């Protein structure tokens, strides 16, 4: 019997991991060709990082969450978003800073990073019905989802003002293809995303069930790290090329996008129930955002240096250790 269980777990784990192949490749197609079209429209680098690239690299999270919400699986839906945001800063931004110190623009310092912090605070307030108004259960309702989407619209308006102002001249390497070909490849990317997302949700649920691990922990670790691999690749490559706008804008934009848009869409599709342990995850999200904001003002000028990157990475590894030790 034990051998059968082990084989079943391994089989569904392989299915889960296999789902990341079409998911990530589809996201890659989406990023490459959507960015190419955006560049031809003279959209500034920072806006490409905060919207086009952030949307493309967050597409795996979006697809996985849509399927999780349709299946009424709140643990994976919430765990995927919170885990992705925590990994974005404690893993991706940390590694990028370790590769090369990152210079931070004034607009990123005073608008985008505080907005990402605000996103975490808003989720904490909306997700704590028990604490705030004494409700029997805590959840992100459809109304809460709409509130998050309103914040996302505000974020879009901010980016449109950046486009109008212009003033960003850094070059982004994009593919030069005909519009019709780019459109077809974007559609192909979306098809692969959908297929991969469906497989991942199925595999995650089955692995959690057979191992007796909570779906929250699966969402916060395997699923969230897997769906964040496009952000990791994008920011690491950008850091090596010293394209700081993309390296930082990709992470910060994705974190804003994940909460305001993806979590907003998820809660609008079906209310997201909030487990007690999720408050730790939300607070970790806020803490890492606050640490980034503080680090920008330590040392000379506005930089995130290697030592600060190591500190963020150690905090993230400590958080993973907590999840493994207390898998509630």
Percent of the chain with pLDDT over 70: 85
d(C-alpha 254, C-alpha 321), whole Å:
24
The tens digit of pLDDT for each residue in 118-177 reads 999 999 999 998 877 777 789 999 999 999 999 999 988 887 776 666 644 445 556 777
DSSP-derived letter for residue 52 is I
Residue 6 lies in a domain: no
pLDDT at 318 over 60: yes
DSSP-derived letter for residue 72 is T
pTM, entire model: 0.83
Backbone angles phi, psi at 273, to 5 degrees: -75, 145
Residue 264 lies in a domain: yes
Residue 178 lies in a domain: no
Asked if 196 and 60 touch (Cβ cutoff 8 Å), the reply is yes
Best CA proximity match to 60, nearest among 100, 24, 30, 8: 24
d(C-alpha 85, C-alpha 255), whole Å:
5
Residue 242 lies in a domain: yes
Mean pLDDT, residues 198-213 taken together: 81
Asked if 228 and 91 touch (Cβ cutoff 8 Å), the reply is yes
Can you read off the two tokens belonging to residue 59?
Answer: 């597409």
Residue 256 lies in a domain: yes
- Average pLDDT of the residues of the chain: 83
The tens digit of pLDDT for each residue in 228-281 reads 887 788 788 888 888 887 788 888 888 999 999 999 999 999 999 998 789 999
Q: Which domain holds residue 137?
A: 45-63+72-170+212-325
d(C-alpha 307, C-alpha 295), whole Å:
10
- Residue 243: how many other CB atoms lie within 10 Å: 20
Half-sphere exposure of 7 (CA within 13 A, CB side): 4
The tens digit of pLDDT for each residue in 26-53 reads 877 877 777 776 666 666 666 665 566 6
Classify the C-alpha dihedral 192-198-201-203 as positive or negative. Answer: negative
Q: How many domains does the chain have?
A: 1
Residue 100 lies in a domain: yes
Predicted local confidence at residue 169, as pLDDT: 46
pLDDT at 7 over 80: no
Residue 295 lies in a domain: yes
Classify the C-alpha dihedral 188-193-196-202 as positive or negative. Answer: negative
d(C-alpha 42, C-alpha 190), whole Å:
24
Residue 55 lies in a domain: yes
Q: In the chain, which ranges are continuous DSSP H helix? A: 2-40, 45-47, 53-70, 74-87, 94-99, 106-107, 113-126, 129-133, 142-165, 179-211, 215-218, 224-227, 229-240, 244-256, 264-269, 278-296, 306-325
Instruction: Give the CATH number of the domain where residue 282 resides.
Output: 1.20.1420.30
Angle CA 51–56–61, to nearest 5: 110
What are the beta bridge partners of residue 140? 272
């Amino acid at each position: 019997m034990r051998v059968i269980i082990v084989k079943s777990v391994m089989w569904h784990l392989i299915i889960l991991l296999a789902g990341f192949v079409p998911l990530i490749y589809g996201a890659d197609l989406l990023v490459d060709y959507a960015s190419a079209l955006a560049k031809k429209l003279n959209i500034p680098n920072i806006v490409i990082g905060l919207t086009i690239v952030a949307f493309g690299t967050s597409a795996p999270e979006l697809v996985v969450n849509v399927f999780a919400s349709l299946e009424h699986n709140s643990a994976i839906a919430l765990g995927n978003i919170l885990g992705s945001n925590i990994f974005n800063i404690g893993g991706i931004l940390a590694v990028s800073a370790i590769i090369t110190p990152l210079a931070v623009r004034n607009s990123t310092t005073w608008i985008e990073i505080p907005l990402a912090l605000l996103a975490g605070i808003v989720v904490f307030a909306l997700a704590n019905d028990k604490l705030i108004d004494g409700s029997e259960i805590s959840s992100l309702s459809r109304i809460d989802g709409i509130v998050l989407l309103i914040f996302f619209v505000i974020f879009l308006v901010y980016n449109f003002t950046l486009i109008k102002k212009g003033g960003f001249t850094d070059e982004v390497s994009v593919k030069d293809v005909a519009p019709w070909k780019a459109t077809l490849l974007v559609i192909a990317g979306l098809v692969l995303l959908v297929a991969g997302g469906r497989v991942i949700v199925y595999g995650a649920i089955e692995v959690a069930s057979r191992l007796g691990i909570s779906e929250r922990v699966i969402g916060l670790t395997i699923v969230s790290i897997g769906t964040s691999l496009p952000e990791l690749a994008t920011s690491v490559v950008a850091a090596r090329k010293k394209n700081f706008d993309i390296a930082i804008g990709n992470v910060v934009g994705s974190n804003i996008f994940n909460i305001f848009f993806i979590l907003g869409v998820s809660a609008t599709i079906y209310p997201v129930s909030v487990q007690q342990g999720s408050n730790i995850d939300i607070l970790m999200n806020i803490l890492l955002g606050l640490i980034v904001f503080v680090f920008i003002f330590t040392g000379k000028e506005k930089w995130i240096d290697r030592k600060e990157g190591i500190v963020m990475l150690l905090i993230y590894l400590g958080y993973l250790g907590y999840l493994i030790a207390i898998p509630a």
